[in-house]
Amino acid sequence: MLTATLSLTAFGYWPFEGERARAKPGTRIKVDDSQFGKVLYSGRGQAIYYFDREKSKRPRCYGSCAAAWPPVLTKGRPKALGKVRQKLLGVTRRKGGGRQVTYAGHPLYYYAHEPRNVVFCHDVFQFNGLWLAARASGKPVG
């Protein structure tokens, strides 16, 4: 039996093909409290930000910008938790092929040096633009 399985997989056949073909899980986005009210976080508790230089779904943060402000990436369809609106979640392609999560048409980012469940970097000017915490409404924190 082992010999048959090995030879079948060597030619690209897998008896449980349906399991491999399942959609990959998407990044989970939730709402939680902060000193700025309720804002978006990843399912793991990392605060999520908008970059005000981006006026469309097309990301502009690459290189040293993306090192400081990593994009919120996903392998599958993003999933809304709690009061996050599923219809506002989307995906855009980054240069290089990565899939970045969007919310209300805005690409989403984390701050690389921020602990979980904390919003330190709201209203920070860096890389020629403001970084603003994102609300479930789709608007940035004012």
For residues 77 and 70, the answer to whether their CB atoms sit within 8 Å is no
Q: Is the pLDDT of residue 52 over 80?
A: yes
User: Please, how many CA atoms are within 13 Å of residue 93, restricted to the half-sphere of its CB?
Assistant: 3
pLDDT at 87: 98
Locate 26 and state its tokens.
């998407």
For the segment 15-35, the average pLDDT, to the nearest whole number, is: 74
For the segment 64-74, the average pLDDT, to the nearest whole number, is: 98
What lies within 8 Å, CB to CB, of 104 at 6+ separation is: 88, 137, 138, 139
pLDDT at 25: 83
Cα distances (Å, whole numbers) of residue 66 to 3, 15, 62? 47, 41, 5
Give per-residue pLDDT as tens, 78-118: 999 999 999 999 999 999 999 999 999 999 999 999 999 99
Query: Which DSSP state fits 1?
Result: -
